[in-house]
Amino acid sequence: MICYQLPGVLWLPAQPDRWVVLAIVFGFSFLLPTLGTGALFWFGHVDSLLLRERAQRPLPLLLATFSFGMAAIVLYQPAVFDPLLSHLMAGMAAGVFLTFLISLRWKISAHAVGVGGGLGLLLRFYLLAPATAALWALLVMVILAGAVLSARLALDAHTPTQVWAGLSLGLGIVAGMSLGVWLPV
């Protein structure tokens, strides 16, 4: 969405070359964590790929934190990539790491953290530069966030407190980064 649907958000790379960004993000945020979690399952470090139990979550969350952090480092090339991209991945790494820390004691919804971050980011874009494209993206994200939170509750994967805490954490990370608490934006 950021690469192709919100004009003026990214300056680098040029639009025809943004597939490289998608490939990097896909590799570091989906492919490596998925393969790593599969390897953890294969070697008996987790007993299910669903990770329903809080005790199953630490290693996969640490793996994802490392992978997202590596993506932030790869994307930190101001001459090649817009700095926003590395900041986004750093924010995602922070969100996953905080989810890891919280999950050591309590089961927070990682799905809600993710949609909270996405919602917060689109809200930030809309507030800084109100545009029709940003408003539509924000509305779609509100619906998506509602669907994800509802699904987590319907599946009995989380309690209402766990999904609201996750949503709040995701929103809080974006707010903190936007205000320069963790990283300048």
pLDDT surpassing 60 at residue 183: no
**Ramachandran sector of residue 77 (left: φ over 0; alpha: ψ -120 to 50; beta: rest):** beta
Taking residues 21-45, report their average pLDDT.
93
- Rg, the chain, Cα only: 17
CB count in 10 Å sphere of residue 13: 16
pLDDT surpassing 90 at residue 181: no
pTM, to two decimals: 0.86
Domain coordinates in residue numbering, the chain: 17-106, 108-184
Task: With beta carbons less than 8 A apart as the criterion, state whether 120 and 171 touch.
Answer: yes
Task: With beta carbons less than 8 A apart as the criterion, state whether 173 and 124 touch.
Answer: no
Task: With beta carbons less than 8 A apart as the criterion, state whether 28 and 68 touch.
Answer: yes
Segment 130-165, tens digit of pLDDT: 776 778 888 999 999 999 999 999 999 899 999 999
Q: Say what the pLDDT of residue 7 is.
A: 67
Burial class from Cβ neighbours inside 10 Å (0-12, 13-18, 19+) for residue 142 reads: middle
Quick one: tokens of 26? 């896909």
Task: Kindly give the interhelix angle for 83-103 and 110-128, rounded to the nearest 10 degrees.
Answer: 150
How far, in Å, are 14, 36, 84, 86, 145 from residue 77 at the CA level?
A: 14, 26, 11, 8, 31
Instruction: Kindly report which listed range (82-86, 100-104, 133-137, 147-151) carries the lowest average pLDDT score.
Output: 133-137
Q: Say what the pLDDT of residue 185 is.
A: 43
E strands present in the chain: none
Give the integer Cα–Cα distance in Å for 98 and 76. 22
Give the integer Cα–Cα distance in Å for 172 and 108. 14
